[in-house]
Structure formats: C-alpha cells, structure tokens
Amino acid sequence: TRPTATGLSITDLRPAPADIAGDAVSGLSASPRWLPSKYFYDAHGSQLFEQITRQPEYYPTRVELALLDAAMPQIADAVAPHAHVVEYGSGSGRKTRLLLEGLETPVAYTPIEISRTALRASVERLAEEFPQVELLPVCADFTRPVPLPEPSRETGHTLVFFPGSTLGNFTDADAVELLRSMRETMGPRGQALVGIDLDKDPALIEAAYNDAAGVTAAFTLNLLARLNREIGSDFDLDGFHHRARYSRERRRIETFLVSKRAQDVVAGGRRFHFEPGETIQVEYSHKYTDASFDALVADAGLQVVRRWNDPRDWFGLRLLEP
C-alpha cells in the first residue's frame, strides 16, 4: 500500500507490464484480433472517459445520474443498513457521492479501480465529503479475484455497487462469471446495485459511441498509445481509426480499431502484419432487455429484487440478491 497526499493508503494490485504484454500478444495473435477494453483506463484514458460522459451524444451517464438521484430514497429503503459498499470500476466517484449521501448509514467504502490516478483523485475528494465513512481503496483489475479489505468497524452486510453499465463491456459468458464472483464477494446476505443501459433506437446508441467532437475515437486510440508507452510496442496512431457499430441481433456496440493501410507492428517482441481494413476488436457495450438481463443474473445464481428505470426506459438500476 502507498499513502496518498491526505494520508489515505491505496492497496496496489495493478496489472504488471508483463500481464499487459501477455494479454496484448495473445489478443493480437488471435483470429479475429482483439485487445481487452480494461486497458483503456490509464490516467489519460480515464480522463478521456470523463470527457466522453460530458458529450451531448453520450446519454448513459447523464440518464443514470438523474435516475440514481430520483430513485435514491427507494434504494435507501431497500438496502440493508450499515453497509460495506464495494464499487467495481469506481472512476471519478460521481455516482458514489449520490449513493453514500443517500444511504443513511454506510460504514465503509471500498472502490476497486484499475486507474491509480483516477482512484487517488476520487478518494481524496470522498475523504473530505464523507469523514464518517471508512475508505478502503484498492487499485486492481476487478475481473481478477480481489481480497477485500476488512473494515475496522462492524458492518451489516456488503453492497456491491456496479453502475455505468460496465457489465455491458463483458460478453454474456464473462458477465455471468463476473456476477458469480460478485455473489461470492457479497455473501449470502449481501446485495448488489447494478446499472444497465437498455436496448433502444440504434441511432441513439450509435451516436453515443461516435460523438461529433471525436472524443470516443481519441479514447479508443489511446489504447495503442498506452501499449506503446507501457509495453514498448510501435503502433502508429495515425495508421488506425475508430469504428463503433450497433449490432441489433447481438444487442451490443462493437468497437474496432481499423488499419488504414498495410503495415507491420511490433508488440511484446512479436511482429504483427495488418492488411488495409483489418480490424482489432477492442470493446463491446451490451444493451439489455429485462429478459436478457434477468437470464444473465439467474445463470449466476442471483435474482432481481427491485428495478428502477428512467422515464424513457433508456437506463436501468437493478437490485440483486442471492
């Protein structure tokens, strides 16, 4: 653990360069090629993501924040008291603030976040705003088993908070695996509050991942800049472009980096050849219906006990229990 400016200690379980290089080589060797979207979130990537959330086309954050605010009294009633709140992919902590404020008696808060810079900034602000809540930040990839810190005071139960439809970045098989590990984390009396982006007009969804200002494109390309910096690959950032399309059948945004020309790239000590138009799949953002989400949750041995949607049914919050 390393102390922050305010003296708070962050448990550091960040992926090592060797893990990143191994994942990059195996994804680039696969056919079709892919890279894991979790590596978008270095310090700059997390900043670009915050900028995405302020683009007019990117509705999910705005709609979820308004929904969380509106539903908070009912959520507080449905959540057991004295919770240890554990958040997956906490980012800037904007939604956390609403949750910790709305729950009457949160005892401890454990954000699990892969970007150390984003995590440090968010816990420093939360420490000032919530002096009564014990902050136990962990810098880690939440898709790997993360040992949970033990709060110093007794807690009633664990509430996993997983907003943002980050679940949508996982294939259905991986989402079920993650929900199962969430079930382990929260224990038999635990609960989870999960945000999900709902299926809707494909034009609205596609616009959200192709903002006119090009911030999403910069976010996608930053993955290559990060790999160049951290694993010494030599991707030419001008040699690839961002493509995000909505598949109605699979109910997901499929995001690719597309090679603009024939080129060779060296990564992790191996050479990869790209033909013009050849793609690297870098992200999915699944959109859900009640039926599709309930099926995932049931596969993981959980059930939806409460549901809240915004007035247009664009985004939902679901309370899950074992």
- In the complex, the smallest distance separating the C-beta of residue 258 from ligand AVJ, rounded to whole angstroms, is 16
Site for ligand AVJ in 156-195 (CB under 6 A): 164-166, 168-169
Strand partners, 240: 259
CB atoms within 10 A of CB 135: 21
Q: Which of 238, 244, 208, 271 is nearest to 55 (CA)?
A: 208
Binding flag, residue 52, ligand AVJ (CB under 6 A): yes
Binding flag, residue 216, ligand AVJ (CB under 6 A): yes
Helix (H) or strand (E) holding 63: helix 59-78
Report the residue from 88, 161, 209, 308 that binds ligand AVJ according to the rule CB under 6 A: 209
Report the residue from 60, 93, 137, 316 that binds ligand AVJ according to the rule CB under 6 A: 60
| CA distances, 313 to each of 34, 85, 185, 193 (Å) | 32, 26, 30, 17
Report the residue from 285, 296, 316, 320 that binds ligand AVJ according to the rule CB under 6 A: 285
Output 209 or 293, the one with its CB closest to ligand AVJ.
Answer: 209
Output 52 or 138, the one with its CB closest to ligand AVJ.
Answer: 52
Strand partners, 241: 258
Output 108 or 176, the one with its CB closest to ligand AVJ.
Answer: 176
Helix (H) or strand (E) holding 137: none
Give the Cα separation of 306 and 322 in Å (integer).
13
Helix (H) or strand (E) holding 206: helix 202-208
Binding flag, residue 141, ligand AVJ (CB under 6 A): no
Q: Provide Rg for the chain, Cα atoms.
A: 20
- In the complex, the smallest distance separating the C-beta of residue 164 from ligand AVJ, rounded to whole angstroms, is 4
Site residues (vs ligand AVJ, CB under 6 A): 52, 60, 164-166, 168-169, 209, 216, 219, 283, 285
